[in-house]
Each structure stands twice: as C-alpha cells, then as structure tokens.
Structure 1
C-alpha cells in the first residue's frame, strides 16, 4: 500500500535488511572523501538524509523503520509457515487414532479446519471419563510431539470444552477461542463455531452433525470410543 512515505518494497529488499539501524544505512552512503572534507560523521549523516550526499533519494527515518518492521514481520511469517509439524516423520500406520490426528494437524494449525475430538476412556484410577476436545486449541497450547511419539496418551480434561467423570459425576464445560458451548438446550450438547457461527450437534442420533461438519468414528483399542467432528470454516469473500 502506498502512502506519503512511498511504496513499500519487497520485504526482502536489502535496503532495509542489510542494516541494523538507520544510522548504519546513512553511514553506508558516506564516502571516505566526504569524511576527508567534512571531518564530522553526524554532519555527513545529516547531508545524506537531506539528499546532498549518497546516491538517489534517501529513505527517511520513518520509512526505513516502517520497512524494517515489515521485513521482520515477513521473516517471522515465513518461519511459522515452515514450522515442522509434531507428527512429521512419525510412522503411525498401526495407530488409527494418532494417524487421524496427524492427517488433521496442519489444517487445524493453519485454521483451515477446526476438529472436535470426543474421547471416552478410563483414567489412571480406572474411572470412566469422557470429553470433547478442541484439537486446534490444544495444538496451540500444548506440545503434541509426546503424543505422536506415544510417550503420552491424549485424555479429556476438566479444562476441555466438555468433561464428564461417570463415577464422581463431575461435569465441566468451557468455551475455547474456536467454540462456544451450548449445554442448556432441549437438543442436548451443542457447540457453536465462533468464526462462522455454525452449530455442531454431537448427538449420535442426528444423521448430520451440522453445516460443513463431518463425523468420523475411529476404531481403536486404546479407548472405549473415539469420534472426530471436522468443521470446515468457510471464509467470507
């Protein structure tokens, strides 16, 4: 976008990436001959900034710093894009649930997909527990590599979207950055996607869980039951 400072160049432009500070940028345009006659670096810098020394129209301090910031943001975004997935390089062919999570990891990290994981299992005390997990939120707040390395087992927690301990009858529900929990309604437990406001109905008796949502049951010996609800968010254009 253009403004009074001129067009913003390619974030990789060496004009801003080569120099750590604006002063270094000015110094690069000062010649030994300039210093011979002026004998004052600050004066030489002022002359470069005013356009009396150096080659071409010099960048003003505000423009240099703006482009420097844009270049840094670009570098960080590229670094995030190339971040290695927690599941990358893992052979999960014998573990259907982990394989299903691996297949959805990139899409949930990037926001293309928001998956809700329903798990019913037994905890360390032998108590039956169940819960609904916001996979995208857990990926952002927890290191998943131990799960994909099979060093830890993914379990529902009281801090997840919904949690129930069948023995103690402890029941909790929590909103996440992606979903709002609608627990008190005649249709049973519902989740509303905060981005497109679509409702996900997790009642197994419902033929369809909702618009842009699919339900997949995972056959695995590690849990009593696992179901994944994949919600595809459609961006408005």
Structure 2
C-alpha cells in the first residue's frame, strides 16, 4: 500500500514538473513576440502575454498552449524533424523539408499534389495536407504516409484514399476527406477548392494554376513523379 502511494505521489510530482517546464517554455515563446515598448507601457507579463495574439503582425499565427505542446512536447520529442536529418537530394523532398517547420508552427499550410504510379503500376493522383499527414505519422505511425522512409529515399510518396482527394485512374474511383486543416469543397465553376479551417480562406486549385500563383510550385521529381506544392500563408483572425 505504501509503495503504491509513493509511486502515485512520484507520478504526480513528475507530471507537475513536466507541466511547469511546458509553462516556462510557452512563456519564453510568447516573449519572442514582445517588443520593448510593450514592457514600457503594460504593467506585467500576464497582461502582455494575453495581448500577444491580438498584437501579432498580420499573417503571424500565435500558437495556443495546446498547439505549442503538440509541436514541442510530443512523445517523440522536440527534435523530431526530418529537416534535421541527412536526406537524399530530391527536388520534392527538399521542397517539403523547407516547409516542415513552417507547417508545424502554423505559419503556412501546404497542400501537395502528386501524380504517380502505385506499387501495382496503376496511375493514381491526389492532394495531401502536409501538416496533417506529418503529424499523423509522428503520433500514429502506420496510419499515415511512411514519412521516415520517404525522406530517407526508401519509399515514394503515394497519395491514398485517406488524403484530401484521391483518384485511381484505372477504375475511376474518387475519394475525398476533410483534414484537420481543410474542408474539401467541389465547385462546378471554380473546380476543386479547399477551405482552410483556421482562417476561412478558400484555395481554388484552378486559380492557383491558371494565374501562375507565386505560392504554387511545380516540381518534377525523378523518384516521386509529377508534383505540385501549394502554400497558403495563414492569416491571423482580427
């Protein structure tokens, strides 16, 4: 009985210590947005931190404590970024590495279009929510794309029926799914659109392509085939 109580008390103490570490780290994160004039005119840190989301520059997203902890205190640790590993010099892989941390911190949101052949040789294509897929892999592993093998050059990036949109051209089957970041909206006039759940922006794929949108990048990868990367800079809600 006493051993059980000691273990329980030790567990509570460990959780309290972890919570304290997370609180301190989040306060340091908020301080990165604070300017010198803020400290001159505002009474204390609590007030300053409450105002940070309201005073952040347009286009800057300030993470909530929950979002911050998901990024920096995940079970796999703070350094679980593929961009910190040595990866093959593939055009698509390098483009995704450049966007990994920006997606994790909710600065941008990236959709990846891939047109390739699956392991059986059938033509497939689809749209992938990069942040959603990476996060699922980091927390659920096999339930998402095998990103560790993809970035290591051992596997190709192949869309599937769990992604935002997927089509198997051999049988004509089409699948679509909302992700944590996007709602899929087929439009008879605008074509396939994705509504960003965070800021309400509507991303028209047809418009990105036909107007040579600066945030639309066409990439031909020897390994992954024909791909397009769509970047959306998340707007801060006023």
For Structure 1 versus Structure 2, the TM-score category normalised by the shorter chain is: 0.5 to 0.7
Report the alpha carbon displacement of residue 91 of structure 1 after superposing the two structures with TM.
Answer: 3.9
Matched, 1:89 2:89: no
| Structure with the bigger percentage of helix | 2
Aligned counterpart, 1:177: 180
Q: How does 1:63-102 map to 2 (within 5 A)?
A: 70-74=19-23, 77=69, 79=73, 82-92=78-88, 94-102=89-97
- SS of the aligned residue for 1:145 comes to helix
Q: What is aligned with 1:125?
A: 120
Alpha-carbon offset, residue 131 of structure 1: 0.1
Q: Distance in 2 between matches of 1:73 and 1:224?
A: 42
Alpha-carbon distance, 1:184 to partner: 4.1
* Inter-partner Cα distance in structure 1 for 2:136 and 2:218: 25
The aligned runs of 1:1-237 (5 Å cut-off) are 70-74=19-23, 77=69, 79=73, 82-92=78-88, 94-143=89-138, 144-203=147-206, 205-207=209-211, 214-236=215-237
Count matched residues: 174
User: 1:125 and 1:70 mapped to 2: Cα distance?
Assistant: 48
Structure-2 change in CA distance of 1:97 and 1:68 (3 Å): closer
CA–CA distance in 1 between the matches of 2:78 and 2:11?
28
Aligned equivalents of 1:176, 1:139: Cα separation in 2: 12
Contact 1:163–1:172 (8 Å) recurs in 2: yes
Normalised by the length of structure 2, the TM-score is 0.64
Separation in 1, partners of 2:11, 2:154: 46
In the alignment, is the contact (CA less than 8 A) between 1:116 and 1:132 conserved in 2?
Answer: yes
Cα RMSD, aligned residues only: 3.0
Partner of 1:218, secondary structure, is strand
**Higher normalized contact order (CA 8 Å, seq sep 6+, divided by chain length):** 2
Please give the alpha-carbon distance, in whole angstroms, between the structure 2 residues aligned to 1:148 and 1:174.
Answer: 25
